[in-house]
Amino acid sequence: MVSQVARWLRVIGVDVVTWRSDLHDKDGTADAATTSTAKSQSHRAQLLAFASGEQRIVITRDAQLASRRDAGACFVLSSDVCYKQFREIKTQFGLYARKKGSKSRCARCNSTEFATIDVEYVRTQRHEVIHAKVLETVTNFWMCVQCDKIYWEGPKYTTTTTTSDGSKYGEVVYQPTHRKRNPRTHTPRTASS
């Protein structure tokens, strides 16, 4: 699974869709009579078709998936350790991060829209429990308008926003190593499996 690294990529601004076959079934139901191998092949075909249609790169640990004839752009991760996967992706696609503001994409749902909310709203809302110590020390909160996930810059912000190579999460800047593109207009889009 590369879902954790997908969240990290969202935090630095990369448009990432995490593939869940149960959410992408055409009719929303699974056929009990279908064998698990057939279901797996069907889900793989759906993933590859989705990625192709959206012009996304599939990032996976599954080398067999990437070697399929119908596979388009795929990148196979060599590590199963999240921070090493993150480093591999940054190196392969020429990504680096620099801090500009405190948010870019929602790590949960991939949205780019956030609303500034006050401490009183955070205290009274019931959908997400925020520790009392956070409410005492933090004054600036943001909420994803799509999934209502609440974000803030807490005391551990520096630690949690520093990657294993010392760079900061923040605005992603795309610098391809082979072709020149404008980093303001081109951000790689990925679909992870």
pLDDT digits (tens, 9 = 90+) for 17-61: 988 765 555 544 444 444 556 667 788 899 999 999 999 999 999
Q: Same structural domain for residues 77 and 23? A: yes
**Given this model, what pLDDT does residue 98 score?**
53
Q: Find the helix or strand (DSSP H, E) in which 46 lies.
A: helix 36-53
The SS3 call for residue 97 is: strand
Q: 74 and 15 share a domain?
A: yes
Same domain flag for 123 and 31: no
Q: What is the pLDDT of residue 125?
A: 79
Of the two residues 187 and 150, the one the predictor is more confident about is: 150
141 and 171 assigned to the same domain:
no
The domain tally of the chain equals 2
Res 174: pLDDT:
37
Whether 176 and 134 map to the same domain: the answer is no
> For residue 28, what are the domain limits?
1-99+167-193
Count Cα neighbours of 140 within 13 Å in the Cβ-side half-sphere: 8
pTM: 0.67
Q: Phi first, then psi: what are they for 16, rounded to 5°?
A: -125, 130
Dump pLDDT digits (tens) for 154-167.
655 555 455 545 55
Grade residue 140 by pLDDT with cuts at 50, 70 and 90: confident
* 89 lies in the same domain as 106: no
Bridge partners of 57?
A: 190
* Geometric angle at alpha carbon 56, from 52 and 60, rounded to 5°: 100
Which position has the token pair 């082979």?
178
The reply to whether 116 and 62 lie within a common domain is no
87 shares its domain with 6: yes
Tell me the pLDDT tens digit for each residue of 72-111: 899 999 999 998 999 999 899 988 665 555 457 898 999 9
CA distance 146 to 133: 26
